[in-house]
Structure 1
């Protein structure tokens, strides 16, 4: 295992800057998910770490060794990295066992015990070693690709949106199997993804990327509950925003006076409230009156669109348990559970 550190990384495609002064630390044995929309620079960042692209400025360190920086360049094959692409990229003419051992020294390629160990690690029966890629499902192919990446006992494993081509049910099962295998190997991992749920559930650390910059990095719960700005908040899931004003430990907004301990002074702020923080009670039970405008039912839960019945009442979105979804047009009372997060305006 090795830690990974990026310092001041800038990179560009011909005449087009992509990464801007990126700093990121991935501790040894942990997983970091780089989350951002298409075109924000996630894959370019992975290419710089992997050695497939030279940065214009900055430094990449693996386990304390500089592999890219001023006057230093270590090629990809000497960095000791494992890489899993979006499509797996298995060799169609080779068996699963041959795919896994491809790239190992010749004397290690016939090590059946190592192949069996890796197949077990990624949750595939040993008899899969004799099959060819076209005899496997998409999820099984991605597991084989991971086994191949782990075969050389890499210092860091790079995952380039490896689950995005799978259907939802298979994606979850494959992701869980991959996470278990990586944890068993105590691997240091960088995953790039545009999937919020994937980033939050898969990683020990989430790094949010916008327009070639890391805007925030931290534990999933921390960045979800306390994003640095509105854009980061939206990157991580549904969000409600309300204008407010602080004063004496409270914030006054369209939902009334909400307690926010520790706030001092008076200033204009924007409140971030996640939909699951909005509790819907029966009309007249206390709270801010609202009317249900629209609902999105997902079975296990639902999103309820509400308009507060105050002057120029804003529209909010609450998340409820599926069977408790109120009817469109009904009146409810809205209260806030937990502390809202404040963003200075």
Structure 2
């Protein structure tokens, strides 16, 4: 178990820059999720950490060891990491036990106690040790891949979108089991994903990546509540933006004058309001009048699109309890729970 530090990392595929001056720190025993769209450089970042790819500039430290940069290059097999890919990549001709122990020294490959310990850790029955990958579900295969990654007691575990190929229900169950296993091992983990819910629920730290740059990193609740820009806000979930102007500690916008931290001086800003912050009341009640123009019903909750009265084109999306979703065309009043987040233009 070691901390991981990347400083000034730049990397490119032939003639195509991918990573640009990336800084990232992962505390020992913690999990960091690197969140971003496909093609933003997430997997390239993992490849640099693993040693599958040399950076053009910058340094990678695992614990006190410099493993890349400054004329130093430590090959992948000597970096002490565990790697779990999207598909698990188990050897189809080997049993579960043989897959798990594949990377161990020969003298340790017949250690059935270690195999049983790892299977228990990832939530699989001991009788799975003799099965082959084609006898397992997708989620079970990913758990075996994690057990293999943990078998050598790695310093850092790298997860490359390991749940993306699973169906939604299996994805959640597998993710929970993997998270519990990693926590039990006190592993230092880097997960790359494009799934915002996965990043926010799985990690101690979320690093947002766009076009090869880390634009923000912090605790999940911190980056969700206070993103640095509109693009980061949208990457973390549903977001409503209202144009406003600051003055005397409030921002005046289509929803009235709202108290917001940082609203000093006079300047044009954007207000970020999450759908769950919008409260819908009865027509004529306290708040701004609006009409429901569209709904998306999900069962447990729903998204309600609203057009504010007297504001040309201003649309908001509120999150409500599913069974209480107002019908399209109905009139409601809108108020804001909690403080919106101010984003300078």
Pair in the same fold by TM > 0.5: yes
CA offset digits 1:47-67 (Å, max 9, x no partner): 000000000000000001000
| Structure 1: segments with no counterpart, 5+ residues | none
Q: Distance in 2 between matches of 1:20 and 1:311?
A: 41
Instruction: Tell me if 1:326 matches 2:326.
Output: yes
Structure 2 counterparts to residues 259-338 of structure 1, below 5 A: 259-261=259-261, 263-338=263-338
Structure 2 counterparts to residues 209-288 of structure 1, below 5 A: 209-261=209-261, 263-288=263-288
Give secondary structure in 1 for the equivalent of 2:323. helix
Contact map agreement 1:254 1:313 (CA 8 A) in 2:
no
Give secondary structure in 2 for the equivalent of 1:115. helix
Contact map agreement 2:6 2:61 (CA 8 A) in 1:
yes
Tell me the residue number matched to 1:147.
147
CA offset digits 1:59-93 (Å, max 9, x no partner): 00000100000210000000000000000000000
Cα displacement (A) at 1:262: 5.1
Give secondary structure in 2 for the equivalent of 1:270. strand
Cα displacement (A) at 1:260: 1.7
Tell me the residue number matched to 1:161.
161
Give secondary structure in 1 for the equivalent of 2:49. helix
In structure 2, relative to structure 1, the CA distance for the partners of 1:138 and 1:195 (3 Å cut) is same
Tell me the residue number matched to 1:183.
183
Q: Distance in 1 between matches of 2:132 and 2:301?
A: 41
Give secondary structure in 2 for the equivalent of 1:289. strand
Q: Distance in 2 between matches of 1:205 and 1:306?
A: 33
Contact map agreement 1:207 1:214 (CA 8 A) in 2:
yes
Q: Distance in 1 between matches of 2:89 and 2:143?
A: 12
Instruction: Tell me if 1:15 matches 2:15.
Output: yes
Give secondary structure in 1 for the equivalent of 2:158. strand
Cα displacement (A) at 1:263: 2.8
Q: Distance in 2 between matches of 1:76 and 1:311?
A: 58
Q: Distance in 2 between matches of 1:213 and 1:265?
A: 31
Cα displacement (A) at 1:117: 0.1
Give secondary structure in 2 for the equivalent of 1:246. strand
Cα displacement (A) at 1:318: 0.5
CA offset digits 1:258-312 (Å, max 9, x no partner): 1124532111110000000000000011100000000000000000000001131
Q: Distance in 2 between matches of 1:34 and 1:263?
A: 31
Instruction: Tell me if 1:50 matches 2:55.
Output: no
Tell me the residue number matched to 1:59.
59
Contact map agreement 2:238 2:275 (CA 8 A) in 1:
yes
Tell me the residue number matched to 1:97.
97
Q: Distance in 2 between matches of 1:278 and 1:120?
A: 44
Instruction: Tell me if 1:78 matches 2:73.
Output: no
CA offset digits 1:167-212 (Å, max 9, x no partner): 0000000000000000000000000000000000000000000000
CA offset digits 1:18-70 (Å, max 9, x no partner): 00000000000000000000000000000000000000000000001000002
Tell me the residue number matched to 2:203.
203
Runs of 4+ aligned structure 1 residues displaced above 3 Å come to: none
Q: Distance in 1 between matches of 2:234 and 2:163?
A: 22
Contact map agreement 1:12 1:55 (CA 8 A) in 2:
yes
Give secondary structure in 1 for the equivalent of 2:191. strand
Q: Distance in 2 between matches of 1:55 and 1:115?
A: 36
Q: Distance in 2 between matches of 1:153 and 1:204?
A: 21
Tell me the residue number matched to 2:194.
194
Q: Distance in 1 between matches of 2:189 and 2:136?
A: 25
Contact map agreement 2:35 2:196 (CA 8 A) in 1:
yes
Cα displacement (A) at 1:313: 4.6
Q: Distance in 2 between matches of 1:343 and 1:261?
A: 11
Contact map agreement 2:262 2:342 (CA 8 A) in 1:
no
